[in-house]
Amino acid sequence: MKIIYPCFPGGKHKALSLSYDDGRTSDRRLVDILNKSGIKGTFHINSGFLGNEGIISPEEVASLYSGHEVSAHTFSHPTIHRCPKEQIVRQILEDRKRLEDLAGYSVRGLSYPNGSWSKEIVSMLPGLGIEYARVVQTTGNFDMSDDLLTWKTTCHHNNDLLEKAKGFIELNKRQYLYWFSIWGHSYEFDNQGNWDLIEKFCELIRDREDIWYTTVIGMVDYMNAAKRLRVAVSGNFIENPSAQPVWLSVDNNTIEIPGGSTIEVMF
């Protein structure tokens, strides 16, 4: 019987993503560092504050975050678990609408403002077009999340980031998928005078052949496509009904299943 495991793009088994809040002007410096390193970021923005002092302008959203992900953070950053449900709906949908108009694509992610959420809010999110939502609690590990609407990252960037990066690099058991995810605010680097931390991190973890550098929505879309694969009971053929390709390990052989295709697997 074949042993079949999903892989990340290119047959990789490790993924890295960064998740940063508030759309402050210090994002400009962070994005520049990430771009030089080939690392992807997801940026959660309160569109109601765009253009205010210390916040990026609406006009630069598309260009600044090109190649990264623009994600929601509510329109005006309330502690939403205290808000009436009608206001929660408006906070999320109006933020999505304005960000979509600026970025030019569908905004489908969220980070909870002030880390504020409830089970009722979580139940509302799919109807508001939100496919993942990040909390501020962290796991300290590299496990894949089993609940994307209360998604916990590995760590905040001030929590032993370089040590965790070294441990992540050393992971080599390919029967597992590992996701190293980091959250924070770019202005914290200004406040704490530690821009060298993220620079050292990016230099340490960049350009590694076994790491997939992705946005959060990139991870969500890819894993959804992997879950939609149709594998024959025999394991002799696999159908991919999604548009994007998916990679698998079949008896330690890496194969690509192109989007919209069926392939035979005769190892």
Q: Are residues 260 and 142 in the same domain?
A: no
Mean pLDDT of 101-122: 97
Q: Are residues 195 and 125 in the same domain?
A: yes
Query: For residue 144, what are its two tokens?
Result: 């894949």
Q: Please give the pLDDT value at position 65.
A: 98
5 in any annotated domain: no
Q: Which domain holds residue 247?
A: 228-264
Mean pLDDT of 143-147: 93
Query: For residue 187, what are its two tokens?
Result: 């202005």
Q: Are residues 202 and 250 in the same domain?
A: no
> How many Cα atoms occupy the beta-carbon half-sphere of 17 within 13 Å?
21
42 in any annotated domain: yes
Q: Please give the pLDDT value at position 199.
A: 98
Q: Predicted confidence band at 266 (pLDDT cuts at 50, 70, 90)?
A: confident
User: Does residue 267 have a pLDDT over 80?
Assistant: no
Q: Are residues 39 and 127 in the same domain?
A: yes
Q: Determine what percent of the chain is predicted with pLDDT higher than 70.
A: 100
Helix, strand, or coil here: 178? strand
158 in any annotated domain: yes
Q: Are residues 76 and 149 in the same domain?
A: yes
Query: For residue 111, what are its two tokens?
Result: 């980070």
| Average pLDDT across the chain, whole number | 97
Q: How far is it, in rounded angstroms, from Cα 55 to Cα 57?
A: 6
With CA atoms as reference, report the closest residue to 152 among 162, 164, 143.
143
Q: Are residues 129 and 203 in the same domain?
A: yes
Q: Are residues 141 and 33 in the same domain?
A: yes
237 in any annotated domain: yes
User: Does residue 138 have a pLDDT over 80?
Assistant: yes
Q: Which residues contact 264 (CB under 8 A, 6 or more apart)?
A: 236, 237
184 in any annotated domain: yes
Q: Please give the pLDDT value at position 247.
A: 97
What is the number of domains present in the chain? 2
Q: Give pTM, 2 decimals.
A: 0.96
Cβ–Cβ < 8 Å for 57, 31: no
Q: Are residues 251 and 210 in the same domain?
A: no
Q: Are residues 209 and 133 in the same domain?
A: yes
Q: How far is it, in rounded angstroms, from Cα 193 to Cα 172?
A: 34
Mean pLDDT of 40-63: 98
Tens digit of each residue's pLDDT (9 = 90 or more) over 175-233: 899 999 999 999 999 999 999 999 999 999 999 999 999 999 999 999 999 999 999 99
25 in any annotated domain: yes
Partners of residue 110 on adjacent β-strands: 72, 133
Which position has the higher pLDDT, 264 or 36? 36
6 in any annotated domain: no
Q: Please give the pLDDT value at position 212.
A: 98
User: Does residue 259 have a pLDDT over 80?
Assistant: yes
Q: Are residues 239 and 108 in the same domain?
A: no
Q: Are residues 108 and 234 in the same domain?
A: no
Q: Are residues 97 and 65 in the same domain?
A: yes
3 in any annotated domain: no
